[in-house]
Amino acid sequence: MRRRVPILLAGGALALVLGCRDSTEPSSSAGADALGAVSASFNGSNHRLSTIFVIDPSGGTVSLFGLFKLSFPAHSVCVVGSSYGAGHWDDPCTTITHSLVVHATLEESHGRLWVDFSPGIRFAPSDDPSQWVTISTDIHSQYIRSRGDGSHDGLGTLAILYAPSIGSFPVDEVKTTGDPSLGSVLDFNSGSIWRRIKHFSGYSVLTGETCDPTSGDPYCVSSDVAQSN
């Protein structure tokens, strides 16, 4: 089953969008969970956090700031500089044979959270879902599970999205590429949100309430999101 929900996607970085501040939804909706998790991550800091993580050729999972989880199958990461850029995401590539160090920065900007990665990386193409690199979050698990009874009103902009840079406007990646495998999935049992990614340079988190894609807000774009039982 697929539902129409507004999501953010954009050009060179992925973005996890959790709502928008111009909303008629009650404050207890999706945004409340996100704000609590974000505040705990920053813990009174200067609204910027940095970390370094390592991707092993054999794969594994990485937790980022307690907000995201990246999952890498074995031999799924292309060597840095391997035909990186739009139009090359599905090109065959040589995968890394040594551990790759990646720098991630979490920053608050434009009322949103952004996670920026360097170096830019793309992932080995595959038609096998078990070989896909994925990003997920359970930041809204309580809210999503509460909608598992069929009352899906207010799910709004819960989706994982793509953006070229911090503060850039969204573009619907599923529509622009024609690849439905890049859509977001809501799991009403676990409360997680996840999606396949073919590359990354950054992610953005919008913490707030459900937005209206007809309002003219350039950050609020309507797209299909899959539902997992």
> What's the pLDDT tens digit per position in 33-73?
555 666 666 666 567 788 999 999 999 999 988 888 999 99
Residue 28 pLDDT exceeds 50: no
Residue 21: the pLDDT is 33
Residue 130 pLDDT exceeds 80: yes
- Domain layout of the chain by residue ranges: 2-228
Going by DSSP bridges, is the β-strand pair 2-7/199-206 parallel, antiparallel, or unpaired? unpaired
Residues 6+ apart with CB under 8 A from 57: 74, 75, 77, 95, 96, 97, 98, 99
Task: Please say whether the beta carbons of 217 and 20 come within 8 A.
Answer: yes
**What is the model's pTM?**
0.78
Secondary element (H or E) of residue 5: strand 2-7
Residue 181 pLDDT exceeds 80: yes
Task: Please say whether the beta carbons of 184 and 175 come within 8 A.
Answer: no
Residue 204: the pLDDT is 53
| Mean pLDDT on 180-189 | 86
Lowest mean pLDDT among 156-160, 178-182, 198-202: 156-160
Q: What is the mean pLDDT of the chain?
A: 73
Residue 11: the pLDDT is 31
Residue 78 pLDDT exceeds 90: yes
Q: How many other β-carbons are positioned within 10 Å of the β-carbon of residue 39?
A: 11
Lowest mean pLDDT among 6-10, 128-132, 145-149: 6-10
Q: Does residue 119 have a cis bond before it (omega within 30 degrees)?
A: yes
